[in-house]
Structure 1
Amino acid sequence: MDQGYIPIPLINQRFNKDWPVDFLAIIAEQKLEEIKDWFQITRDKNQDDITELSIPQETALYRPLYRRPRKIWGIGLNYQAHAEDLSARLPDTEPASFMKPDTTIIGHGDIIKIPEFSQRTTGEAELGLIFGKKCRNVSQRDWKTVIAGFTTIIDMTAEDILMRNPRNLTQAKSFDTFFSFGPIFYTLDEVDDLFQLEVKTILNGKIQAENIVD
């Protein structure tokens, strides 16, 4: 909301609800749409209560969306220019992919710890897709039926380790703090045109890379 954020525990207490207070549980129990619908109705009818419960954005403490996802899947070589940096050929059938453990997760403002033995570690901004339900063999046409929404990701890679051998991909991607997750979550209806989104990697105020989602 424009005024700030409303913690779910406060909503449960004030409005006699019993919603999960963990975001992963909200998704797993299929409560996201219910909470959205409730808020849209209640915001107009109980504006004073909503305003009273809200926490200003500038005083909120930001954390990762959640800490224990079942899977973190990354799609590699999805930037042509970056693939060229790595002297790698773009995949023409299945996408290059990798997984990261949940020990890599950090939140907004947390410190990224560079391995002492890595001489070249890089970070890339990525668009994160949050799955909203269990699924398998979903067609390209039906992708929206299984996605709860989007978030921002910074994916770190110890590139010098990767360059020594492409089989080092898991190691190069899996050091602690190598996955900045969130903190803002956007539902599908909040994004007018996914394929017009710009994803920018910014370091110390300078744009390092930028791409349009396609």
Structure 2
Amino acid sequence: MKLASIKADGLEKAAIVTAGGYVLVETLNAATGSAWSETLAGLLGNEETAGLNAWYREGGALQAERLETIAFADAACGPLLRNPPKIWGIGANYAEKAEEMAVTPPDGEPICFMKPTTSLVGPGDAIVLPRGEHRVTAEAEIGIVIGRTCKYVSEADAMGVVAGFTPTLDMTAQDIHARNPRFLGRSKCFDTFFSFGPHLVTPDECPAPGQWTIETALNGVTLYRSDVTRMIYSIPYIVSYFSGMMTLRPGDVIMTGTPGSVPLRPGDVAECRLGGFAPLLNPVIAEREARG
């Protein structure tokens, strides 16, 4: 199952992605008498995504196909969530990226950082390059979205707490980070420096590891490409690792690293391409353009 947050009637509403377009969950509820939460924040926060996916797999997909849809061309997707409880990321998780950076994660553990919710934008929203002489890059990454409250999850059980996956773009002011590695968090905290969406894809619909590709693209051209078999830390390991540090909540987002970063300039379009997913695209503007 694939879910999206669609802008409709001045709100952002949860929708199921079908072959013919988006079916709002409120449309599903009205047609079937069900009572699913009608926003993605509600579906995740109430831990309903697994139940909705079970309904979808057990015949619900055919029912959804017969309901009223919003055409893809007529729909505008927002970010999957406006206020994720936590936004985490790890660095240098693809072999080629670690080699490029000459980085060895300390003591065999991932390099970790957090993003504030003020850094969040959605598909089609502008990445705003901050004032000053900054060298900003974008990195395409697989985003894990947690679906159940959990702590101390084993790697064997980790996929059971995952609601789904989504494309993400992680922006970094590389000039700040280059001055001192301890400035990693500061270099990633600017407004608009995190984008995710447009779809949340449940684990059962994700490609097999060897076919699950990830590409960082700029202005329509793929500049870096890899697949999840090249990850140093696997997705189950990442979920288990973070759950050992803190309680994970539904809606938490964890970015899983990138095969490569691209420099951004005003007028560019940054893109995350994941095999089997709708791509995530964001235009780039300068802050003076955004604020006059």
- Indicate whether the TM-score tops 0.5: yes
Q: Is the 8 A contact 1:5 1:56 kept in 2?
A: yes
Q: 2-side partners of 1:45 and 1:86: how far apart?
A: 50
**Range 86-95 or range 147-156, more displaced:** 86-95
Q: Is the 8 A contact 1:118 1:161 kept in 2?
A: no
Q: 1-side partners of 2:65 and 2:147: how far apart?
A: 29
Matched, 1:127 2:127: no
Q: Which residue of 1 aligns with 2:46?
A: 29
- The 1:46–1:58 alpha-carbon spacing in structure 2 relative to 1, beyond 3 Å, is closer
Secondary structure of 1:6's counterpart equals strand
- The 1:19–1:177 alpha-carbon spacing in structure 2 relative to 1, beyond 3 Å, is same
Secondary structure of 1:135's counterpart equals coil
Q: 2-side partners of 1:184 and 1:68: how far apart?
A: 16
Q: Is the 8 A contact 2:50 2:163 kept in 1?
A: no
Task: Give 2:169's match in structure 1, choosing from 154, 159, 171.
Answer: 154
Q: Which residue of 1 aligns with 2:127?
A: 112
Q: 2-side partners of 1:122 and 1:88: how far apart?
A: 18
**Aligned residue pairs: how many?**
211
Higher RCO (C-alpha 8 Å, min separation 6):
2
Secondary structure of 2:55's counterpart equals helix
TM-score by length of 1: 0.90
Deviation at 1:201, TM superposition (A): 0.4
Q: Which residue of 1 aligns with 2:23?
A: 6
Deviation at 1:108, TM superposition (A): 0.8
**Cα-to-partner distance string for 1:43-101 (whole Å, 9 max, x where unaligned):** 445754x1xx1111121111110111111110111134334444533445110000101
**Range 127-136 or range 84-93, more displaced:** 84-93
Alignment of 1:36-185 (within 5 A): 36-40=53-57, 41-44=59-62, 48=66, 50=67, 53-185=68-200
**Cα-to-partner distance string for 1:86-130 (whole Å, 9 max, x where unaligned):** 453344511000010111111111100011224311001000111
Secondary structure of 1:170's counterpart equals helix
Q: Is the 8 A contact 2:166 2:199 kept in 1?
A: yes
Q: 2-side partners of 1:126 and 1:80: how far apart?
A: 14
Deviation at 1:185, TM superposition (A): 1.1
Q: 2-side partners of 1:61 and 1:45: how far apart?
A: 23
Unaligned runs of 5+ in 1: none
Deviation at 1:195, TM superposition (A): 4.5
Q: Is the 8 A contact 1:107 1:183 kept in 2?
A: yes
Q: Is the 8 A contact 1:73 1:99 kept in 2?
A: yes
After TM superposition, what 4+ stretches of structure 1 lie above 6 angstroms from structure 2?
none
Q: 2-side partners of 1:90 and 1:42: how far apart?
A: 44
Q: 2-side partners of 1:71 and 1:46: how far apart?
A: 32
Unaligned runs of 5+ in 2: 1-17, 230-292
Q: Is the 8 A contact 1:77 1:91 kept in 2?
A: no
Secondary structure of 1:208's counterpart equals strand
Q: Quick one: percent identity of the two aligned structures?
A: 38
- The 1:45–1:196 alpha-carbon spacing in structure 2 relative to 1, beyond 3 Å, is closer
- The 1:97–1:195 alpha-carbon spacing in structure 2 relative to 1, beyond 3 Å, is farther
Query: Whose strand fraction is larger, Structure 1's or Structure 2's?
Result: 2
Task: Give 1:20's match in structure 2, choosing from 19, 37, 54.
Answer: 37
Q: 1-side partners of 2:21 and 2:212: how far apart?
A: 24
Q: 2-side partners of 1:93 and 1:185: how far apart?
A: 30
Q: Is the 8 A contact 1:194 1:213 kept in 2?
A: yes
